[in-house]
Every structure is written in structure tokens, then in C-alpha cells.
């Protein structure tokens, strides 16, 4: 049977009784509808993607899409729904999800640097098209869900600073500082001095220029540096890592958390903001997509379950104090980014090339859906480094994170110190 007829029979058999609003067009222009009012058109420009469809090989389909052997027309959110619908009907949903789980691989500082450059050095003009005005590339923080992306990212930066209880004159380390947004906000509004490190040359240049053109030139130091190259134990009062630890690899999580603990002064606070798996074993959820992301978006990336984060923090000698799940916030953040990219698609193609934009359209919309469906989540985890005597400086409640007042806090006593009483003055 000719390849086209095999595919049409295959699709009809799986879509019968529950059709999708899909039109399939072949390389000779002939088209076939699988719903009464198609909203998405899948064009197969050669026979190769047909063979991948018949085998349910979504990795090869992803390659075909990136290379232009197949193209998709329609609203990006509709395209995503159709793609997930096909995966479910092909019976590959669960099996491929298991295959997409993370497999550790050998890493090096040089390999990690190359992976970071691949993702972040696409160009500042590209990211500027769809990020907020401060170029913050991490989950925003919504108080009502109605804010624009600029307001939500400002709220996120301030939320982090409040959690860390930053005070004038303190030294803040930003692990993976991106384009410098958090450091500039913290120095401007909380009076800290800061050091930011990144492996992206484009981010480094942008952040250096941002600081140089501000009144903060003597208070913020931006470095092109790997976290494993940090020297000077107990050099910082507070440490933040926002959207960075996903790049270090599961096998390097102990080194990553131990480095943060080593660089933190006794009594200091460390906030880790990052994506976490929702499966307790860290397995991928939802339809296959891990291989596509690893190959085309985040090479070398991996995310653990929250329990692994807490274990590694404890092993590093830090005391876990608070965890806040921000999953709905990231679903909405990614939706904002996706829609902003769609609205500036022609400009994005000129900035980064058509192939790259095909990748990013699917990635942003797909990740928004993944967080919305609870296949992934994201958490801010706050921990403290005990004082030399074993006590921990930490607040009694979370009120300081939300109210315009100082935290009620003091030294938390060691077990057995029954005569100790907390200072209850703000």
C-alpha cells in the first residue's frame, strides 16, 4: 500500500469517533481533513515524517519539524493541543514519557559552558522581544494573575529580596545572574553589594554594561565564571540562585549545594528558585518532549524532585526553612512569553533565524501547558546556615515576606535549652 494511504488509514483508525480539528497536507498539495472545521494544518513536505508518524516516533518528528520537513500552521496553542491529542491517540503517551526520563551523562566545565552559550547566546535582541523590560528570564510572581509581565517580574524580584531579608551593606551572590535584573533591583532598593556570575557571554556583556551605566558601578561585580570556580569561603551574607540549578546536572547537585553552603557566612540565607519534577522518582510526565528539549533548547539540563533538593541542602549543612510552590505562576509567565513571541514573530525570525523560532514557539507554548497540567512545577526553597555554635538565625513566621515590617526573629535555640526565650520585639 502506498505510504500516503497507509498514513491516512492509520490516522482515521485512531481519530474515528473522536476527531481532531486537523488538516493534513501532502507534498503534492493534496489535503485531507479529520474534523469539520480544521484549526491546524500539518504539511508533510517529504516522506520521512510520514514514516515517523506511522511509527509514533516523536523524536524523529521533532527533528523533521525543526529541519522543515514538516510544517504546522495555526494558533500555537491549538497546535499544541493537536500534538498532544495525537500522542495520546497513538498510544505513545505513557511509554514515551518513561523513555524521556533523565539519563545522567558525563559533564565538564567546558561542556556546561558550551551548553549555556547554546541556549543564552542566541542574542539579546531576541530575548528582549518577549521578556520583560528588566530581561528577567525566570518565573514571575503574580498577586492577582491580572498583572502584565513587567509588573509580575518586579514583584518576583522584590519577593526574593524580602525572603532573603536583605539589608544595606550586605554582600549578595547571584548564582547564574542572567542579565543582572535581580542584582540591580537588590542594590537599588535594599542597599546591598553584589556579585553575579554567568557562563553566557551575551548576558555577561549586557549585565556589565547595565551596571556600568548606572549608579551601582562600584557596588556590583559581574563575572564570566562557573560556580565551581568560586573562591573565598564564607564570603557572602546572602545567596540567590534563580533558574540556574537546572543546568548543573543531577550528578553535580551535591557540588552545587556544597558550593553555596561554603560561600555563605554563618547565619546567612540561601534561596534556590528552580524547576522541580512532580514525579517522586524524577521521571518525565506527559507526552514525550524531554529529548526535544535536551537536543534543541536546554542541552544538559535536568530537574530533580523537590525531595532531592531538600536532601542535598541538608547534606551540605544548610537548614531548610521554607518552600513555596509557584507552579501556577510559571504557567502564566510562560503563556505571557509565548504570546509575546507570537506577536513579534517576524522580528524574532530576523533576530534569531526561522529554525530557531520554530523551536522556541513549540518550547514556550509546550512548557506553559506542562506547568498548567502539573507535569512540572517550580519551587523557591529557603535555607539558612547555622552559626558556629549550631544555632540558626531565622524568622519565626512568614509575615515578613508580605507585610511592610521587619521580621520577628532571633537565634533559634538548640534542643534542650529550656530556659531560652525569644525576643518578641520587631
Domain of 278: which CATH number? 3.40.50.150
Q: What is the mean pLDDT of the chain?
A: 85
Q: What pLDDT, on the 0 to 100 scale, is given for residue 296?
A: 67
- Asked whether residue 98 is domain-assigned, the answer is no
Q: What pLDDT, on the 0 to 100 scale, is given for residue 426?
A: 31
Distance of CA 207 to the CA centre of its chain: 20
Residue 331 and residue 270 in one domain: yes
Burial (CB count <10 Å: 0-12, 13-18, 19+), residue 52: buried
Range of the domain at 346: 111-384
What 3-state DSSP class applies to 242?
strand
Residue 286 and residue 363 in one domain: yes
Check pLDDT > 70 for residue 413.
Answer: no
What 3-state DSSP class applies to 154?
helix
Q: What pLDDT, on the 0 to 100 scale, is given for residue 121?
A: 64
- Residue 145's contacts (CB-CB under 8 Å, 6 or more residues apart) are 328, 332
Please compute the mean of the pLDDT values over residues 192-212 and round it to a whole number.
95
- Asked whether residue 63 is domain-assigned, the answer is yes
Contact, 21 vs 37, CB < 8 A? yes
Q: What pLDDT, on the 0 to 100 scale, is given for residue 279?
A: 85
Residue 10 and residue 148 in one domain: no
Check pLDDT > 70 for residue 259.
Answer: yes
Burial (CB count <10 Å: 0-12, 13-18, 19+), residue 412: buried
Residue 70 and residue 147 in one domain: no
Contact, 80 vs 289, CB < 8 A? no
Contact, 205 vs 271, CB < 8 A? no
Going by their DSSP bridges, the two strands 40-44 and 22-25 should be labelled as parallel
- Asked whether residue 305 is domain-assigned, the answer is yes
- C-alpha grid cell, residue 51: 514514516
Residue among 268, 367, 378 at smallest CA distance from 317: 268
Residue 327 and residue 363 in one domain: yes
Residue 205 and residue 342 in one domain: yes
- Spatial distance between the Cα atoms of 270 and 237, rounded to a whole number of angstroms: 9
- Total domains in the fold of the chain: 2
User: How does DSSP classify residue 282?
Assistant: -
Q: What pLDDT, on the 0 to 100 scale, is given for residue 292?
A: 67
- Asked whether residue 151 is domain-assigned, the answer is yes
Q: What pLDDT, on the 0 to 100 scale, is given for residue 422?
A: 36
Residue 183 and residue 308 in one domain: yes
- Spatial distance between the Cα atoms of 34 and 44, rounded to a whole number of angstroms: 15
- Asked whether residue 395 is domain-assigned, the answer is no
Please compute the mean of the pLDDT values over residues 197-218 and round it to a whole number.
94
- Asked whether residue 185 is domain-assigned, the answer is yes
Please compute the mean of the pLDDT values over residues 5-33 and round it to a whole number.
87
Residue 81 and residue 116 in one domain: no
Q: Which of 384, 401, 418 corresponds to the end of one domain?
A: 384
Contact, 97 vs 118, CB < 8 A? no
Residue 80 and residue 159 in one domain: no
pTM here is 0.84
| Identity of the highest mean pLDDT range in 47-56, 57-66, 168-177, 362-371 | 168-177
What 3-state DSSP class applies to 264?
strand
Please, where are the H alpha helices in 90-123?
A: 93-99, 109-120
The DSSP H or E segment spanning 198 is: strand 193-198
Distance of CA 399 to the CA centre of its chain: 27
Contact, 270 vs 260, CB < 8 A? yes
Residue among 40, 65, 76, 73 at smallest CA distance from 339: 76
- Spatial distance between the Cα atoms of 3 and 10, rounded to a whole number of angstroms: 11
- Asked whether residue 391 is domain-assigned, the answer is no
Contact, 134 vs 181, CB < 8 A? yes
- Asked whether residue 321 is domain-assigned, the answer is yes
CA 50, 54, 55, 57 torsion: positive or negative? positive
Q: Which tens digits make up the pLDDT trace of 335-359?
A: 999 999 999 999 999 999 998 898 8
User: How does DSSP classify residue 168?
Assistant: T
Contact, 168 vs 191, CB < 8 A? yes
Residue 76 and residue 154 in one domain: no
Residue 288 and residue 341 in one domain: yes
Assign 102 a pLDDT band (cuts: 50, 70, 90).
very low
Please compute the mean of the pLDDT values over residues 23-31 and round it to a whole number.
92
What 3-state DSSP class applies to 29?
coil
Q: What pLDDT, on the 0 to 100 scale, is given for residue 418?
A: 34
- CATH number, domain of 13, equals 3.30.1050.10
Q: Which of 91, 125, 140 corresponds to the end of one domain?
A: 91
Mean pLDDT lowest among 6-20, 65-79, 189-203, 374-388? 6-20
End-to-end CA distance of the chain: 80
Residue among 243, 242, 181, 240 at smallest CA distance from 216: 181
Residue 278 and residue 318 in one domain: yes
- Spatial distance between the Cα atoms of 313 and 260, rounded to a whole number of angstroms: 9
- Spatial distance between the Cα atoms of 105 and 101, rounded to a whole number of angstroms: 13
CB atoms within 10 A of CB 68: 12
Distance of CA 339 to the CA centre of its chain: 17
Q: Which tens digits make up the pLDDT trace of 138-177?
A: 999 999 999 999 999 999 999 999 999 999 999 999 999 9
Q: Which tens digits make up the pLDDT trace of 291-336?
A: 666 666 756 678 899 999 999 999 999 999 999 999 999 999 999 9
Amino acid at each position: 500500500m502506498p505510504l500516503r494511504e497507509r498514513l491516512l488509514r492509520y490516522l482515521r483508525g485512531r481519530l474515528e469517533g473522536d476527531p481532531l480539528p486537523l488538516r493534513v497536507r501532502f507534498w503534492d498539495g493534496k489535503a485531507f481533513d479529520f474534523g469539520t472545521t480544521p484549526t491546524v494544518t500539518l504539511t508533510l513536505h517529504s516522506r520521512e515524517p510520514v514514516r515517523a508518524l506511522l511509527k509514533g516516533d516523536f523524536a524523529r518528528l521533532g527533528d523533521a519539524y525543526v529541519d522543515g520537513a514538516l510544517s504546522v500552521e495555526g494558533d500555537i496553542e491549538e497546535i499544541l493541543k493537536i500534538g498532544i491529542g495525537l500522542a495520546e491517540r497513538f498510544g505513545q503517551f505513557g511509554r514515551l514519557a518513561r523513555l524521556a526520563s533523565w539519563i545522567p551523562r558525563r559533564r565538564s566545565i567546558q561542556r556546561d559552558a558550551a551548553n549555556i552559550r547554546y541556549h543564552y547566546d542566541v542574542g539579546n535582541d531576541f530575548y528582549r522581544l518577549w521578556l520583560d523590560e528588566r530581561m528577567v528570564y525566570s518565573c514571575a510572581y503574580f498577586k492577582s494573575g491580572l498583572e502584565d509581565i513587567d509588573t509580575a517580574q518586579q514583584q518576583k524580584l522584590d519577593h526574593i529580596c524580602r525572603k532573603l531579608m536583605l539589608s544595606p551593606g550586605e554582600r549578595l551572590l547571584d548564582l547564574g545572574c542572567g542579565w543582572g535584573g535581580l542584582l540591580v533591583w537588590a542594590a537599588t532598593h535594599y542597599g546591598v553589594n553584589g556579585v553575579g556570575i554567568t557562563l553566557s557571554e551575551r548576558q555577561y556583556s549586557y549585565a556589565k554594561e547595565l551596571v556600568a551605566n548606572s549608579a551601582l558601578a562600584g557596588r556590583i561585580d559581574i563575572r564570566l565564571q562557573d560556580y565551581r570556580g568560586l573562591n573565598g569561603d564564607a564570603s557572602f551574607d546572602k545567596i540567590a540562585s534563580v533558574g540556574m540549578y537546572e543546568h548543573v546536572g543531577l550528578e553535580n547537585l551535591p557540588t552545587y549545594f556544597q558550593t553555596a553552603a561554603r560561600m555563605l557566612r554563618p547565619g546567612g540565607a540561601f534561596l534556590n528558585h528552580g524547576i522541580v519534577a512532580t514525579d517522586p522518582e524524577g521521571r518525565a510526565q506527559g507526552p514525550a518532549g524531554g529529548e526535544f528539549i535536551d537536543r534543541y533548547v536546554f542541552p544538559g539540563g535536568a530537574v530533580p524532585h523537590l525531595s532531592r533538593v531538600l536532601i542535598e541542602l541538608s547534606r551540605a549543612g544548610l537548614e531548610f526553612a521554607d518552600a513555596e510552590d509557584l507552579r501556577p505562576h510559571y504557567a502564566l509567565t510562560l503563556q505571557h512569553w509565548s504570546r509575546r513571541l507570537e506577536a513579534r514573530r517576524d522580528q524574532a525570525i530576523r533576530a534569531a533565524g526561522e529554525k530557531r523560532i520554530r523551536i522556541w514557539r513549540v518550547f514556550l507554548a509546550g512548557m506553559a501547558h506542562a506547568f498548567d497540567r502539573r507535569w512540572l512545577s517550580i519551587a523557591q526553597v529557603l535555607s539558612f546556615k547555622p552559626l558556629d555554635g549550631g544555632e540558626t538565625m531565622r524568622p519565626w513566621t512568614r509575615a515578613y515576606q508580605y507585610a511592610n515590617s521587619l521580621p520577628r526573629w532571633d537565634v533559634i535555640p538548640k534542643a534542650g535549652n529550656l530556659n531560652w526565650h525569644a525576643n518578641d520585639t520587631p
